[in-house]
Structures are given as C-alpha cells and as structure tokens.
Structure 1
Amino acid sequence: MFKFTSSEVRDLIIAFVVISLCFAIVNAGRDISGILSTLPIVMVGVGAGFILHELGHKFVSMKYGYWAEFKLWPQGLIFALITSFFGFVFAAPGAVYTYANHMTDEINGKISIAGPIVNIILALVFLGIATMVYPSALYSEGTALIFIICAVGYSINSFLAVFNLLPIGNLDGSKVLTWNFGIWLVTIAIAAILTGLSMTIGVQNIVRLILGF
C-alpha cells in the first residue's frame, strides 16, 4: 500500500515545479513570455516523467517490504536551474530513499531500474499518441497542441531515462550496472536511441517515418 508523508508530498511538488521550469527555460531560452507559454506544455511531460519515475522506485521498494520516501535535494535543484540557462538540465532534484538494514545488489538494481523503465515506457506512449493524432494535427489546432505536448513528453522522458542510467555518482545507472551489466547495457542503449532520434531528426520526422509520409 502506497503511503506518503506530508513532507514527501511537499518535496515532490517543489521538485516538479522547478524541474518543469528548467525544461521550459531550455525550450524557450530566456524569453519570459516564451517560458510562461511553454511551461504548461512541459509540465505534462515532466509531471508524468518525474513523478512516475520516483513512484516507480517507491513502488518496487515497498514491494520488497522496505519503507521508501522521496526527499528533496536543494543543491541539485539549484544546479538544475543554473544548467538550464546553458541549454541542458542536470536533473537531480532529489531521490527516493529506501530504508533497509541490508539490501542485495540485485534488489538495489531492480529498485533503481524501475524509474528509467517508467520513463522509457512513457516516452513510447507519448510517441504512440503523437503518431495517432499527427494526421489530424495538420488541420486542427486542438489536435496540434496534443501532438506538441506528446512530442515534448517523448523528448523529456527519453532524456530522463538515459540521464538517470548514466553510471556516475549516485544515479540509477551505477546501481543497475553493479547488479547486471547486460540489463544496464540494453536499457541505456534503448534510452540513448530514443534520445538520439529526438535530438537529431526530431519527433515530427520520427512520426512521419512511422506513418510512411
């Protein structure tokens, strides 16, 4: 059963708002009006990506009988905000802390990989929706907005997946790599391909290729 403390809910909300702002800055630059108009769109992808990523860690931790709680990392939030002005986001606003007297590398790896897998699944879901609405998005402003939201959601979630799978510091990738090199390699390869396609040919061209346009 999922249980949240009041401080955990507060930390999740703060992290969600600040990280959303960071990605809005990356997408809109330093233009205030552009940031404000981009922020609601970005919040959908970040909201789904960030919140469900952390809940993925929490769910698997609690499945193994551990208490798990998200805690904010203020320095990470400040650093993310600073890096956003340079065109990228070092997204480390906090983490789900699992409280256990002893934990095997396998369990730690499974808890850690849950978040990036959620992001990969979300990226594919956003891409699938974007593909379905694309033909009508060419003629409808409402559907075009849905396409834009899904395109941003795909890009953000694929980036969050590959970023968190980097085997550095306390990121998820370090723990997954310690547990199983093969699983880490396959997972980060999928995330890297999704991110690479987003950054090179763009979501619209990915959709057009899928549809055969």
Structure 2
Amino acid sequence: MFKFTSSEIRDLLIAFFVISLCFGIANTGRDIPALLNMLPMIMVGVGLGFILHELGHKFVSMKHGYWAEFKLWPQGLLFALVTSFFGFVFAAPGAVYTYANYMTDEINGKISIAGPVVNIALALIFLGIATAVYPSAFTSQNSVIIFIVCSLGYSINSYLAVFNLLPIGNLDGSKVLRWNAGIWVIVIAIAGVMTFLSMTMGAENIVRLIIGL
C-alpha cells in the first residue's frame, strides 16, 4: 500500500519549498520583486516535477514489495541554495531510500529511472499545454500566465531529468547505467536534447517551431 510517514511528508514539503526558491533565485538573481513574482509559477513546475519524481521512485520500489521513504539531505539543500546564486541548481535535496536486504541491478535500475522518466513526461505535457494556449496568449492574460507556467515547467523538468541521469555519485544515472547502458543512453539523450533546446532556443521558440510560426 502507498503509505507516507509524517516525517516523510515534512521532508518532502521542506525540500519542495527550498528547491522552488533555488530555481527562483537561479532565474531572477538577486531581484527580490521578480523572485516573489515568479516564485508561485516556478513552484508549479518544480512542485510537480520534484514531488512526482520522488513518488515515481517510491511507487516502483513499493510495487516490487520494498518499503521506500523520502528523506531530506540538509547538506544537499544548502548546496542547492548556494549554487542557485551562480545561475544553476544542484538539485539534490534528498532521496527516496528503499529498504531491502537484497536488490538486483535490474530492479535498482528500474526504480532509479522512474523519476527521470516522470520528469520527461511532465516536460512534454507542459510543452503540449504551452503549445495549445500560445495562440490565445496574444489576447488573453490568463493564457499568458498559463503559457509562462508551462514554459517554466518544461524547462525545469527537462533539467531535472538530465541532471538526475548524470552517472555520478548516488544520482539515478549511476544505477540506471549499471543496469542497462543502452536504456541510459536513450533516456539521457532525450532529456539532454530537451534541455539543450530549452537553454538555446527557449520554450517560446520551440512552441513557435511546433505550430509553424
């Protein structure tokens, strides 16, 4: 059964808020009014991206019969906050810990890839919504807000996917690569292209390309 402990819910909420703040700082620098303005919109993309990423790990772990729980990493949160002032976010505020006496590389890899795949799927959903509302954004303020939220959601989730797939330390990428190098190459390539386009073209130009403007 999909259960949460009270400490797990607390840790998820703290990590969600701090990581949202970090992405806000990275996008606005030290411009406090701009940060306060953008933070609620960033929280949608980060909130769904971060929470569902961790729930992806938890769901697959528990599907295989293991107990899994998210735990905060205070040093990771602090490091994320520091890096955000340099324009990027080292997003490692904590992790879902799976408790098992023994686990194969295959199961560990499948648990690990679940989070980045969730981020890729969310990024594409955000991009699809942004594309759908873009034509009306020229005449509707509500559509402008939705477009901005979805653009941020696309960019943030693409970044979260490729970051977590890096094969370093205890990130998801190390465990996925150990399980299946071919799957790792395919998934990180998809996330990498999405992130590259986000950073070079921007979400609006991607949308304009899709709809042929």
Q: TM-score, normalised by structure 1?
A: 1.00
Match of 1:171 in 2: 171
Percent identity of equivalent pairs? 78
Gaps of 5+ in 2: none
- Aligned residue identity for 1:78: L
- 1:62 Cα deviation after fit: 0.1
Could you say which residue in structure 2 is the equivalent of 1:147? Answer: 147
Amino acid at match of 1:90: F
Q: Deviations over 1:143-176 (max 9, x none)?
A: 0000000000000000000000000000000000
Partner of 1:56: 56
Asked whether 1:211 is paired with 2:203, we answer no
- 1:138 is displaced (CA, Å) by 1.3
The yes-or-no answer on 1:159 pairing with 2:194 is no
What residue number does 1:80 align with? 80
Aligned partner of 1:106 in structure 2 is 106
The CA deviation string for residues 83-116 of structure 1, in whole angstroms up to 9 with x for no partner, is 0000000000000000000000000000000000
Aligned to 2:131: 131
Deviation at 1:49, TM superposition (A): 0.1
Q: Deviations over 1:44-65 (max 9, x none)?
A: 0000000000000000000000
| CA deviation vs aligned residue, 1:6-47 (integer Å, no higher than 9, x gap) | 000000000000000000001111011111111000000000
3-state SS of 2:3 partner = coil
Aligned length: 213
Secondary structure of 1:103's aligned partner: coil
Structure 1 SS opposite 2:95: strand
SS in 2 for 1:69: strand
- For 2:129 and 2:46, how far apart are their aligned partners in 1? 17
State how far apart, in whole Å, the 1-side matches of 2:200 and 2:119 are: 20
**One-letter code of the match for 1:97?**
Y
Off by >2 Å, runs of 4+ in structure 1:
none
Q: Supply the distance in 1 between the matched residues of 2:204 and 2:25 (Cα, whole angstroms).
A: 21
| Deviation (angstroms), 1:121 | 0.1
Other-structure match for 1:44: 44
Q: Are residues 1:29 and 2:29 paired?
A: yes
How far apart in 2 are the matches of 1:34 and 1:83?
19
Aligned partner of residue 96 in structure 1, secondary structure: strand
| 1:119 equivalent in alignment to 2:119 | yes
Q: What residue ranges of structure 1 are gaps of 5+ in the alignment?
A: none
Partner amino acid, structure 1, of 2:158? S
Q: RMSD across aligned C-alpha pairs, in angstroms?
A: 0.4
Shift in Å at residue 202 of structure 1? 0.6
Letter in 2 for 1:58: K
Partner-residue secondary structure (3-state), 2:43: helix
Q: Secondary structure at the match of 2:88?
A: coil
Separation in 2, partners of 1:199, 1:75? 27
Supply the distance in 2 between the matched residues of 1:79 and 1:34 (Cα, whole angstroms).
23
Q: Give the Cα separation in 2 of the matches to 1:33 and 1:207.
A: 28
